[in-house]
Structure 1
Amino acid sequence: MRARSSSMLSRRRFLKFSGAFAATGFSTATYGVGVEPLRLGVTDYHVRPRNWPAGLTLKIAAIADIHACDPWMSLAHIDGIVQRTNALQPDVIVLLGDYVAGHRHHMGRIDAAEWAPVLGGLKAPLGVHAILGNHDYWDDRIVQRDGRGSPYAQKALEAAGIPVYENDVVRLSKNGHGFWLAGLGDQLAYMPARRFRPVPRIGVDDLKATLQKVTDGAPVILLAHEPDIALRVPARVSLQLSGHTHGGQIRVLGWSPAVPARNGVNLAYGHIRTQCDVIVSGGLGCSIMPVRIGMPPEIVHVTVGGEPMEVTS
């Protein structure tokens, strides 16, 4: 009788544990799909690059990986991002690529002709400046077929008054202090023609040619959709701003299993120091699957120069 009672107790414990585990899993999945992807926060960084002018304090708002689609990233939600970004009153706003939907699990695509004018509502004294991401290239079948050309996302942004940089630079200034924005072409722009062969994707990035367009000693801020380029960025660059990783979308105790370290350097998320300061945004939308756990959507707000402070979100 004792053995039977003990066996029954063990089964009860197992069933109770299994039920609790299943309930926890269901709750986590519900939160990860229906709650966290729709949140919106602001993460503040304050960096002081080694070669940054003492008299220049610059506030940058960075928006990455919108992935417009219903219901996860509706036009109303994008407008909320625009209003929240404008409320930060940054000196300059940068868009770090991947505006088009990054997964098929949605109720409807949002055309670039719809989301680009909403982003056109972004305002900053030194302007709004954009680069493209891999999905902006991959989603344009004509560009993929021809292996060249401007993706429709680029055309829509430019029609909305937002310049898009591909291996190009622009010189800006604040309070008499100049600095450069350098926009790198996407590193994964073209998918291989034969998808089932281990052929690397082909980028349109040219870091050397981009930096050669910088004509004076003013500091350089590099916009690069994929952060991997950081391992090759020289100390001439003060700050690199990137997206692409989404922080892994699922992040547990600061670890993102979906984004492995590269050559011993973890470029998944946050502030990293290589030869320059690198900030990788967790982004706003979702890719592959509409799920986020432990990595809520964020607008990144960077103060460059001035007195140091802690990261907040």
Structure 2
Amino acid sequence: MKVTRRKFIRTGLLVTLGAVLVDMFWFEKFFIETNEFYIGKATKETTNIKVVQISDLHLQSINSQLSRLASKLNKLKPELILITGDAIDKAQNVSLLNDFLKLIDKQIKKVAILGNWEYWGNIDLNELNKVYLENNCTLLVNQTTQYLFGDTSISITGVDDFVGGNANYNAAIKDYKKSDYHIVLNHCPQYNDYISTQIDTHVDFILSGHTHGGQINLLGFAPFLPPGSGKYVKGWYTQNNSKFYVSKGIGTSMLPARFGARAEIAIFNLS
């Protein structure tokens, strides 16, 4: 059968469109990439403390993607899991967060901060805090806590959300104690511009989320970024000699699709 040029082009366009839609609504959402980094003197050969960042879960259900993620975390056995906001965006999903956290080994220490959707979703923060506590997770709202792993001390500062809450970095570091490592958790990366100007307390790096990597990212251009993103989209940035990492996160917001912004977790190795 002879195929005309017009029919060939039309078929090609339909196949391409189908591939793009599969990528947007399935592949990039449900297959989580792992980005791993080595900080300071850490290498693949050294004995490291593993810190994992999870951001923007926007939990709607416990699907196979999240079950696999929990299983991966249990095998990885990091010293710390850091949840950088927007774990849920509806009040009725607090119990869903509890179900997800229970899939993760309770012995793994966890720290969480609030994102804008924990406020916009009218979530009972006392109930949320209770769920976190039951799962060996400390919720930090403009606070700092310190952990000791062997001879290595790590301070984690958690800043309240810049858009929905009351971000106050100066209040958050009030109880900071000098540590081998200091990691700041701040959901909206725009506020990192302010944090980077505060040089009184050493910060190794800042972890943010919020942007979803643009969620729809066209060859590096993200046409839609939520308020509080500033000029940041994904990956590493340096501002005023401060380093910070913006996670693409796991879930989606508004539109249940991703393109050019695959879901991710990030592993930071400290030595």
Query: What's the TM-score, normalizing by structure 1?
Result: 0.72
Equivalence for 1:195: none
Structure 1 CA distance for aligned equivalents of residues 206 and 109 of structure 2: 18
Equivalence for 2:51: 60
Residue 28 of structure 1: CA displacement? Answer: 0.9
Structure 1 CA distance for aligned equivalents of residues 97 and 125 of structure 2: 17
User: Which segments of 5 or more consecutive residues in structure 2 lack a partner in the other structure?
Assistant: none
Please state if 1:243 is matched with 2:197: no
With over 3 angstroms needed to count, the CA separation of the structure-2 counterparts of 1:230 and 1:124, relative to structure 1, is farther
Equivalence for 2:116: 134
Decide which structure has the larger Cα Rg and report it.
1
- 1:36-94, CA deviations, whole angstroms, 9 ceiling, x for partnerless residues? 21112211122339xxxxx9953211111111114xxx254323211112222222111
Q: 1:69 aligns with which of 60, 76, 97?
A: 60
Structure 2 CA distance for aligned equivalents of residues 230 and 40 of structure 1: 26
- Asked whether the 8 Å contact 1:79–1:119 carries over to 2, the reply is no
Q: Which amino acid aligns with 2:167?
A: D
More strand by share: 2
Equivalence for 2:264: 298
- 1:9-44, CA deviations, whole angstroms, 9 ceiling, x for partnerless residues? xxx867764554354234312321133211122111
With over 3 angstroms needed to count, the CA separation of the structure-2 counterparts of 1:154 and 1:76, relative to structure 1, is farther
Residue 117 of structure 1: CA displacement? Answer: 3.5
- 1:199-247, CA deviations, whole angstroms, 9 ceiling, x for partnerless residues? xxxx311111112221336542101111112111234221101111111
Structure 2 CA distance for aligned equivalents of residues 24 and 151 of structure 1: 48
Equivalence for 2:238: 273
Structure 2 CA distance for aligned equivalents of residues 62 and 216 of structure 1: 22
- Asked whether the 8 Å contact 1:117–1:160 carries over to 2, the reply is no
Equivalence for 1:8: none
Equivalence for 2:100: 118
Structure 2 CA distance for aligned equivalents of residues 219 and 134 of structure 1: 27
Equivalence for 1:160: 135
Structure 2 CA distance for aligned equivalents of residues 297 and 110 of structure 1: 24
Query: What is the DSSP-based 3-state SS (H/G/I as helix, E as strand, rest coil) of the residue aligned with 2:34?
Result: strand
Q: Which amino acid aligns with 1:77?
A: Q
Residue 151 of structure 1: CA displacement? Answer: 5.8
Equivalence for 2:31: 39
Identity of aligned residues (%): 22
- Asked whether the 8 Å contact 2:106–2:135 carries over to 1, the reply is no
Equivalence for 1:183: 158
Residue 166 of structure 1: CA displacement? Answer: 0.2
Q: 2:190 aligns with which of 223, 228, 246?
A: 228
With over 3 angstroms needed to count, the CA separation of the structure-2 counterparts of 1:266 and 1:44, relative to structure 1, is farther
